[in-house]
Amino acid sequence: WSKLRETAIGAGRKLRKIGTDDPRRILHSLKVGLALTLISIFYYVKPLFHGLGASTMWAVLTVVVVMEYTVGGTLSKGLNRAFATLLAGALGLGAHQLAALCGDKGEPILLSVFVFLLAAMATFSRFVPEIKARYDYGVTIFILTFSLVAVSGYRVDQLLQLAHQRLSTIAIGVATCLATSIFVFPVWAGEDLHDLVALNLEKLANYLEGLGKEHFGEKMETKKMVDLTFLQSYKSVLNSKSIEDALANFARWEPGHGGFGYRHPWKHYLKIGALIRQCACSIEALNAYISIAENDQMTVTDEEFLQRIRADCAAMSSESGKALAELAAGIRQMECPLAAVQHMSRAAAAAGGVKTAAPAEDASMPEVLRSATTASL
């Protein structure tokens, strides 16, 4: 019994941590609840919308499925849903008209053939990367609506009325979702992407500055690198690609907001992100090398040599760390980071000092810096 209480407390703590890590998550949950309640009240008031009847369901369904965490996500799903339904509905009606010409016997057979062909073709199109990234949900809805219309077995005039109802309910559902996600504490995918890229740069900067201080600094022998947990935060940078791609994809749908215009160059963020990951890779390799060298108790490199390059190494890593931090600040404030160039040249000078003795291991660093600067955000 006490064990049960412990797990409950543990779960509670975990949930609270998720909430405090990003309070917008709690707000989002409340927003979903709000949108759903709005739409159900809207339809619970029967006398007003008696005509829509069973379509209530479709409005609720739309809200539940379309409501996403970011504005861009909601917009992309909502538009996908609306246009896919329209297109598939029209095609379905056409298929019905065509099948009706074949008489009572041929109709079901022809409709089945149509469903088979369209479902197979649409499913195949989902393997195309571009369609998968942007219209995956739309294709699903397309298949669904076309099959429903084709299978329904209604007459065409009934179908037209049904289509009218269906579209209006979906429009109401999408409008409710958009209204709640844009006007009530909006979460912009573009802003998130912007922050994520800057944060990743800062993580790398932290690592390099920490490395300069702790590893190459005065207290060199006292601590092991592996114990310094604050130096481990760069690891999350390595796997940030899928999140960045998704955010950039959503950001493309968003209208202008804050400091970002409608056609903000979101692709540049992906390029910087890729360079950041490359840089993180170099750091990862460097880190692995350092921890192995520590386990070896410095048998390979002799003490004197180490003393000689230590100051240069320290300067190199802390200066490139500062340069990265400047870049991150530049991205956050959307200014061209001039101070970074200065730090960079100092780092390069220090690197030159090390290079004469040993091959520079973070040689790819300047590349990142240069590209990030030319992106000039």
**Is 91 a binder of a copy of itself (CB under 8 A)?**
no
Number of shown-chain residues binding a copy of itself (CB under 8 A): 75
String of DSSP letters for 324-341: HHHHHHHHHHTS--HHHH
List 6, 10, 12, 15, residue binding a copy of itself (CB under 8 A): 15
List 8, 256, 289, 307, residue binding a copy of itself (CB under 8 A): 289
List 9, 48, 57, 184, residue binding a copy of itself (CB under 8 A): 57
Quick one: which segment of 53-61, 78-86, 187-195, 201-209 binds a copy of itself (CB under 8 A)? 53-61
Using DSSP, state whether 257 is helix, strand or coil: strand
List 98, 151, 160, 226, residue binding a copy of itself (CB under 8 A): 151
Helices (H), 215-364: 235-238, 241-251, 266-295, 303-333, 338-355
Using DSSP, state whether 260 is helix, strand or coil: strand
| Of 348, 349, 352, residue with least CA distance to 365 | 348
For 335, phi then psi, to 5°, come to: -125, 160
List 48, 102, 116, 376, residue binding a copy of itself (CB under 8 A): 116
For 257, phi then psi, to 5°, come to: -160, 150
Give min distance, CB of 135 to a copy of itself, in A.
15
**Is 48 a binder of a copy of itself (CB under 8 A)?**
no
**Is 87 a binder of a copy of itself (CB under 8 A)?**
no
User: What region does 298 belong to: left with phi over 0, alpha with psi -120 to 50, or beta?
Assistant: left
List 10, 23, 33, 259, residue binding a copy of itself (CB under 8 A): 33
The helix or strand, by DSSP H or E, that contains position 173, with its residue range, turns out to be helix 156-183
**Euclidean distance between CA atoms 69 and 71, whole angstroms:** 7
Quick one: which segment of 36-44, 159-167, 226-234, 369-377 binds a copy of itself (CB under 8 A)? 36-44
Which structure tokens are listed for 334? Answer: 């959307």
**Is 136 a binder of a copy of itself (CB under 8 A)?**
no
**Is 37 a binder of a copy of itself (CB under 8 A)?**
yes
Which structure tokens are listed for 337? Answer: 């980071």
Binding to a copy of itself (CB under 8 A) within 296-315 occurs at: 300-301
Which residues neighbour 96 within 8 Å (Cβ) at sequence distance 6 or greater?
Answer: 111, 149, 150, 156, 159
Q: Evaluate whether 85 touches 170 at the Cβ level (below 8 Å).
A: yes
How many other β-carbons are positioned within 10 Å of the β-carbon of residue 150?
23
Give min distance, CB of 57 to a copy of itself, in A.
6
Binding to a copy of itself (CB under 8 A) within 230-259 occurs at: 238-239, 241-242
**Is 41 a binder of a copy of itself (CB under 8 A)?**
yes
Quick one: which segment of 70-78, 138-146, 205-213, 334-342 binds a copy of itself (CB under 8 A)? 138-146
Q: Measured from the CB atom, is 236 or 345 closer to a copy of itself? A: 236
Q: Per-residue x/- marks for a copy of itself, 322-341, CB under 8 A?
A: --------------------
| Of 62, 70, 69, residue with least CA distance to 36 | 62
Give min distance, CB of 120 to a copy of itself, in A.
4
**Is 267 a binder of a copy of itself (CB under 8 A)?**
no
